[in-house]
Structure 1
Amino acid sequence: MSRYTKQDIIRMIQDNDVEFIRLQFTDIFGTLKNVAITANQVERALNHQCVFDGSAIEGFVRMEESDMYLYPDLDTFQIFPWGSQSGRTARLICDVYRPDGQPFEGDPRYILKKVIRQAWDMGYTFEVGPECEFFLFHTDDNGMPTTITHDKGSYFDLGPVDLGENARRDMVYNLENMGFEIDAAHHEVASGQHEIDFSPNDALKTADDIMTLKLVIKSIAKRHGLHASFMPKPKSDVSGSGMHINMSMRKDGKNVFYDPADELELSPDAYHFIAGLLAHARGMAAVTNPLVNSYKRLVNGDEAPLYVAWSIMNRSPLVRVPAARGEETCVELRCPDPACNPYLVLAVCLAAGLEGIKEKMAAPARIDRNIFHMDRDEKTALHIEKLPLDLWEATRELEKDRFVCDVLGKHVSEKYIEAKFKEWDNYRVQVTEWEIAEYLYRI
């Protein structure tokens, strides 16, 4: 049941002097798209009469089947708080449909909705809280981004050392004006690196909010003369940016991951959910870490996980159970980065966890030592696997994991795998500055 009716949307547009509405949707690679309409076209949009060319969107459809329709989700209506107070701009997040009125199987939002329905049928709701990291960089004289950082701050620094403080405060202010409940905002480890976290919510709203958060951060950074980048590893000599996701399941309003009778205060469902995540971690990697650049963050010494294991508190494994218990009990997946498509990431994570619960999969023994300090023999003895080392290996693992491919669906899995192999090939043939410096003189 929607909070808003069509009449509510029309009234809010009139009452708030909204002139433009962005009808937003996301492609399979996590890029936010939109069709902009004027306020006098809003009734057509609300009646599902807005058409766009799906063949122009990478990974959508062929030229001969290009017409696609946008179905706005009325509850996502938001007025952008920045900009002029007259002639304002609003947005509606849309689902993508075919001309026959059927949901488009290549719409990432539809894929997440399908898995959410599976959880609902089992009596569960899925809640997620993300931790989004990003860099603020200077721009050059042409307005193009550089990798010159905005400050020399480090973890939890404050102004005047944290020169991004004003921009970050402005981001938080605008996000709260759009209904976000911000849990924390702070400087991260690397110079120019920041993090903004918002409160957990149901999975679909969280995925929508991640896309909105990135848009707001980029828009406000630009107003401060800066460029916000969610690239996982923009500089080789500093920490990369992750997007840890904290997940919990509820049934009848209660957190089903919590069990006070257990030694670790975790329920059987929590252990099974963890087992499902670990079982498909390598197959999900091309989704959680979708770029060539993603795997330059997943390296030793960068506090990013490399190993398919789980623990309590210990931050070196892939999956961690934070200290909070009771209604705040959650499972944290530490590998995703902010370049990912949040709809697809949450879909595959939820599906993997549900499979673990349905099949009553047993979680492996937890690893409480720092895996980075173990030698190869110790890791082999404990059956600790590594995440894929690069995008090629990750895409091969996705191709082999029929379960993950089935979650994505035939259309998306085939398009996605094809695109990621192409991305790897384009990268593989490049001659880098490192190679020139390493080989040209001495060979």
Structure 2
Amino acid sequence: MDKQQEYVLRSVEERDIRFIRLWFTDVLGILKSVAIAPAELENAFSEGIGFDGSAIEGLTRVSESDMLAKPDPSSFQILPWRGSSHGVARMFCDIATPDDEPALSDPRQVLKRNLDRASELGFTFYTHPEIEFYLFEKPEPGMLPKPVDQAGYFDNVPRGTAHNFRREAITMLESMGISVEFSHHEAGPGQNEIDLRYADALTMADNIMTFRAVIKEVALEQGVFASFMPKPLVNGPGSGMHTHMSLFEGDRNAFYEAGADHQLSPVARQFIAGLLKYAPEISAITNQYVNSYKRLWGGAEAPSYVAWGSNNRSALVRVPVHKPGKGQSTRIEYRALDSAANPYLAFSVLLSAGLKGIEEELELPEGAEDDVWELSPAERKAMGYQALPASLSQAIDLMEGSELVAEALGERVFDFVLRNKRAEWEAYRAQVTPYELEQYLPVL
């Protein structure tokens, strides 16, 4: 037994932990949980906890349903919302087959495989997400969602629900070792943003899943409802997860080159070029729901076209300006990702696209200086700004022909996502919406 496992066992005893929740996600990024008693913990570390993998979306087929959840002791944290006595803790799990091989369809293992590939090239992948979400009053059947306030960007609302909510949520996150950099009210009514501090991509993916659970728990405690739906309001901005990214070689930021244009190294420029080239075909992963495309094509600074720019918030990839002498903070920001994405798979395809740009030594085109939304279609075409998919259907078609996404996800996950998303599109396409009834029923 290693030292981390011993630390977990000792902490469980000393802190009076009565249940340990083992967490993992399905292919869509929905959190799964099974609780075990402390007496089962040693066995969980040594052998894993068996479960029916065929009952989990995309994990395995019925004919090979036995799977093992193997807890990662480095992810041990006590859940603060469960009280101080008779506490509850959690650990994230890697999923394995009965012969102890990593499950090809486990999203966490998918990300690990891609991070191993980056490591072989000498890189460590770091991310920093800005996570947006909405707070609504408790929903009533048949009623439209009602935001908890009518505040706007950076508004200070004395004694406001969102202000108190963010304070409580951040306190919980930091008690679990998840560092928060910023928090504020966003542009939409009831919309908020909390930014998590930089971490390696695997830790950050775990942190994002924990973040969503914390936000939902705090909302329940405060009698409100939190949603990460990409575009819940017709006339409000969508909720994105703008993600800052960088590659490090040891302690050196591989994206930084002093004196270069925007202080971007050749590695950084090639990484951006890879993101731009492959952005349309990774969209079904970074923006995986029908509703995601309402956000991308709904304006309000959501990116709809493939372009990059320095400090240009209409671009798909933005290069933030940092202070002189702060070369270690050189990074790029990918702005299409939404708050409902599976972080393990999204980070996998973003990293894979960037690395492909490096391997292919792609040349970065000219950056966009204008508001891409304000350009005419002819101007965008002349500048070579390709459109992102306008619907989940288009995104699926592009992904289906993508060797990059197939390689990044592996055959099992790739095939499941295609089947699942086609079924979602077919179900959506069959709906008769309130818009159609309002527009056509009275006059046709």
TM-score (ref. length: structure 2): 0.97
Runs of 4 or more, structure 1, over 3 Å off, are: none
Q: Distance in 2 between matches of 1:105 and 1:427?
A: 29
Q: Distance in 2 between matches of 1:141 and 1:293?
A: 21
Residue 404 of structure 2 is matched in structure 1 by: 403
Residue 370 of structure 1 is matched in structure 2 by: 371
Cα deviation for residue 48 of structure 1 reads 2.5
Say which SS state the counterpart of residue 113 (structure 1) adopts. Answer: helix
1:34 partnered with 2:33: yes
Say which SS state the counterpart of residue 157 (structure 2) adopts. Answer: coil
Deviations 1:380-407 (A, max 9, x none): 1111100000000001111011111111
Q: Distance in 1 between matches of 2:302 and 2:213?
A: 25
Residue 111 of structure 2 is matched in structure 1 by: 112
CA contact under 8 A between 1:292 and 1:423: conserved in structure 2?
Answer: yes
CA contact under 8 A between 1:145 and 1:227: conserved in structure 2?
Answer: no
One-letter amino acid matched to 1:333: Y
1:320 partnered with 2:321: no
Q: Distance in 1 between matches of 2:215 and 2:109?
A: 25
Residue 200 of structure 1 is matched in structure 2 by: 198
CA contact under 8 A between 1:152 and 1:162: conserved in structure 2?
Answer: no
CA contact under 8 A between 1:207 and 1:343: conserved in structure 2?
Answer: yes
Cα deviation for residue 84 of structure 1 reads 2.2
Residue 298 of structure 1 is matched in structure 2 by: 296
Residue 139 of structure 1 is matched in structure 2 by: 138
TM-score (ref. length: structure 1): 0.97
CA contact under 8 A between 2:48 and 2:71: conserved in structure 1?
Answer: no
Q: Distance in 1 between matches of 2:376 and 2:255?
A: 33
Q: Distance in 2 between matches of 1:213 and 1:362?
A: 37
Further displaced range: 32-41 or 227-236: 32-41
Q: Distance in 2 between matches of 1:427 and 1:338?
A: 20
Q: Distance in 2 between matches of 1:177 and 1:300?
A: 37
Q: Distance in 2 between matches of 1:300 and 1:49?
A: 45
- Structure 1: which 5+ runs fail to align? none
Choose the corresponding residue for 2:254, options 253, 256, 267: 256
One-letter amino acid matched to 2:302: A
One-letter amino acid matched to 1:54: G
- The alpha-carbon distance between structure 1 residues 223 and 146, as it changes in their structure 2 partners (threshold 3 A), is farther
1:348 partnered with 2:349: yes
Q: Distance in 2 between matches of 1:326 and 1:210?
A: 26
Q: Distance in 2 between matches of 1:146 and 1:85?
A: 38
Residue 178 of structure 1 is matched in structure 2 by: 176
- Structure 2: which 5+ runs fail to align? none
Deviations 1:309-347 (A, max 9, x none): 100001111100000151111010000001100000111
Cα deviation for residue 181 of structure 1 reads 1.4
Name the count of aligned residue pairs.
441
Q: Distance in 1 between matches of 2:268 and 2:115?
A: 17
Q: Distance in 1 between matches of 2:20 and 2:278?
A: 40
Cα deviation for residue 5 of structure 1 reads 2.5
Q: Distance in 1 between matches of 2:316 and 2:140?
A: 41
Q: Distance in 2 between matches of 1:411 and 1:203?
A: 22
Q: Distance in 1 between matches of 2:418 and 2:351?
A: 21
Choose the corresponding residue for 2:218, options 217, 220, 229: 220
1:271 partnered with 2:269: yes
Residue 22 of structure 1 is matched in structure 2 by: 21
CA contact under 8 A between 1:152 and 1:161: conserved in structure 2?
Answer: no
Deviations 1:349-387 (A, max 9, x none): 111111111111111111111111111111111111000
Choose the corresponding residue for 2:161, options 151, 163, 179: 163
Residue 150 of structure 1 is matched in structure 2 by: 148
Q: Distance in 2 between matches of 1:349 and 1:266?
A: 18
Cα deviation for residue 161 of structure 1 reads 7.0
Q: Distance in 2 between matches of 1:387 and 1:67?
A: 39
One-letter amino acid matched to 2:155: D
Cα deviation for residue 146 of structure 1 reads 6.0
Residue 437 of structure 1 is matched in structure 2 by: 438
Q: Distance in 1 between matches of 2:242 and 2:355?
A: 19
Say which SS state the counterpart of residue 278 (structure 1) adopts. Answer: helix
Cα deviation for residue 300 of structure 1 reads 4.7
CA contact under 8 A between 1:153 and 1:161: conserved in structure 2?
Answer: no
Taking the TM superposition and a 5 Å limit, the aligned residue runs for 1:385-404 are 385-404=386-405
Deviations 1:20-41 (A, max 9, x none): 1110001110101011112222
Say which SS state the counterpart of residue 149 (structure 1) adopts. Answer: coil
Q: Distance in 2 between matches of 1:251 and 1:294?
A: 34
